[in-house]
């Protein structure tokens, strides 16, 4: 039961954040979704509702990566930055999805910055 209320609270925080955060063609939204085991990241242009780049820990090359979940999350951030730069994106708006900016969420942001994206 605690998990349900925790999920509802996260969704409430995310709704509150989305009032202020929106992705455009020049600065799309970098969305972070996380589960207990995996991290999913997308770069979304909200004006047309299209995903421009994505990466997750479910990909074959990242599943075999050694290290803890935070190290894998950082690698996902670097990978999505590479894919976004290949799509011609230089800067993004960070959407933490209602999660705290700590741990794996912060690691994704750090990896994206190291990959060359401006957050």
Give residue-wise pLDDT tens across range 82-99: 999 999 999 999 998 888
11-69, pLDDT tens digit by residue?
Answer: 888 787 777 777 778 889 999 999 999 999 999 998 999 999 999 999 988 888 888 99
The first and second tokens of residue 71, run together, are 């190290």
> b vs e for 40-49, b when ≥16 Cβ sit within 10 Å of the residue's Cβ?
bbbbbbbeee
Query: In the β-sheet with 50-56, what is the strand arrangement from edge to edge?
Result: 50-56, 39-45, 29-34, 93-95
pTM given for the model: 0.86
Alpha-carbon span 1 to 84, nearest angstrom: 39
What is the helix, strand, coil percentage profile of the chain, to 5? 40, 20, 35
């Amino acid at each position: 039961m605690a998990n349900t209320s925790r999920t509802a609270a996260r969704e409430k925080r995310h709704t509150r954040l989305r009032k202020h955060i929106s992705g455009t063609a020049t600065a799309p939204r970098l969305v972070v979704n996380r589960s207990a085991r995996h991290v999913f990241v997308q770069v979304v242009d909200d004006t047309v509702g299209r995903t421009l780049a994505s990466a997750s820990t479910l990909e074959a090359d990242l599943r075999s990566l050694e290290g803890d979940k935070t190290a894998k999350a950082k690698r996902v951030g670097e990978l999505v930055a590479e894919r976004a730069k290949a799509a011609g994106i230089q800067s993004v708006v960070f959407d933490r999805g209602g999660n705290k900016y700590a741990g794996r969420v912060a690691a994704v942001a750090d990896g994206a910055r190291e990959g060359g994206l401006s957050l």
